[in-house]
Every structure is written in structure tokens, then in C-alpha cells.
Amino acid sequence: MELSLTGKVAAITGPAKGMGPAITSAFMREGCNVLLIGRDTKAMEPLLKEAADLNVEALAVQCDITDAHAVDECMAEGLHYFGSVDILVNVAGGSGPVGVPAWETTPEDFDQIVQLNMAGCFNTMRAVLPQMIARRAGKIVNVGGTFGMRGRAGRMAYSASKWGLRGITKSTAIEAGPYNINVNCVAPGMVDGARFREKVIPSLMQAKGVSETEAVTKHAEEYALGRISEAEDVANACLFLASDVSRQITGVDLPVDGGWAAL
């Protein structure tokens, strides 16, 4: 299946952490030029090297996506450099408190994760949409989470932020649809990686008194396919929704979770 992404410009937030590198690499391998948006430009250097090796253009811009003014300046810089932005992929996000019930969640922790996971995506969408509307073309992919579809004990703040992102995605899809702009949400379940291994698994080990291997197995057993997602699984879903192969799909949540949300 030909995705026809060669030469497109993709703005990607959080490109260097968590699932970010796998998603960014996937777009570059499809021939996309990339605007890399994040707070840690040092961490983006391997991606810049990869872009050079793949013969695609890449621009790294330091930006805190919770700062609306900074996002406006970042997007203006990207538009000046590339001329347009065809695709926005909002990967940047956080996990918030893990294993903490709602009544023990501090207002500060709640506000922090809502600002990052909801307002951060709102800021980037608000900054990129006017030029997409002017060109009558664009693709926006927000990376949400299945805890924003079913909820999860001990993850209230995170779940709230991802439920909110679904609303942002669906409402904007309705508003942007008449301008030939697709807005969708990829909803990963647990994704194997540093955050899963260093934050989620230790919390389960402590709560259940199990080993690391047992904790991973318990998570995998919750999914219909009996396995935990890899970052590449999420990257492939993002590519699909950013391409014209999915031109008639907008306002949807696409779980990439091995079947957890369906059970």
C-alpha cells in the first residue's frame, strides 16, 4: 500500500522521548521532512543525523508546548523554513501520578498533566490549523491513550487528560472537516519502553508483591492478543491516519492496545 507521504512536512512534538523516536523515524523513512518540537533539542540530535542519512529535511526547535506563545513562535519558524506543514503529530505527553487514588492526587499534579496532555495539543493544533485551512488540506494525529477510553484505577489524572484530548480531537474534526482536514486520535495501550519498565512495572511489583517478569505477564494477560504493544505499532497507526489512505476517516479513536479497550 502506497502512503504517498514523500515530500510532506510533518510537525512532531515529543520526537525524542518515549514513543517519539519510533514515530519520527517512521515518518522520515516514508520520505517526510520533519519539524521536531520539544524541550530537549540535545536529545533530538540522533534524529537529525538519521534525517541526513535518509536525505530528508529536519528542523529541531526548542519549545515547551504548554506555552501557547512559544508554540506560535515555533510554528512560525517551521512555516518559514518549510513553507507549509502538512501533518501534525502530537506525541508529547506525560503519565502523571501512577498508583495514586483520586483523593490523594494533588491539585498541582492534576493541573500539570492536564496542561501537558490537553493544553499542549490544543496549542499546537491552534497554531497549525490556519495555514491548513488556507490550503484546504491537512492531517492531525493526536496520541491519546486507552485509559482515556475505559479509565484506570490509580491513573485518574492521566485518564482525565486523555478523555479531554478525545473531546478536543472530535470537536476539532467536525470544525475542520469542511476544509478537507482530518483530525484523529491514536490510543495506545501499554507500550513497552522506559516509562513502562521504570514507572508502571515497579508500581505493580510493589502493589502486588510480584517480580518484574510476573508484572509484565500480568499486563499482557489483560489484552486479547496476549502481548504488549511496541512503539512501532503506534508509529504504523500514526502513518495510516496521516496518509490519504485514511482520507475518509476523521474524529475517531484508534486503539493500538492488543484488544484491551475491546474487552
Question: Catalytic site residues?
Answer: 158
Which of the 8 DSSP states describes residue 189? -
Q: Which three cell numbers stand for residue 153?
A: 484505577
**Under a CB-based contact definition with an 8 Å cutoff, are residues 177 and 245 in contact?**
no
Other C-beta atoms within 10 Å of 211: how many? Answer: 11
The dihedral over CA atoms of 140, 16, 57, 59, expressed in degrees to the nearest 10, equals 90
Distance CA 205, CA 199 (A): 10
Q: How far is CA 235 from CA 31, 107, 109, 168, in A?
A: 14, 33, 28, 21
Distance CA 16, CA 190 (A): 19
Helix then strand then coil, % of the chain, to nearest 5: 50, 15, 30
Distance CA 24, CA 244 (A): 18
The H or E element spanning position 75 is helix 68-82
Distance CA 9, CA 239 (A): 13
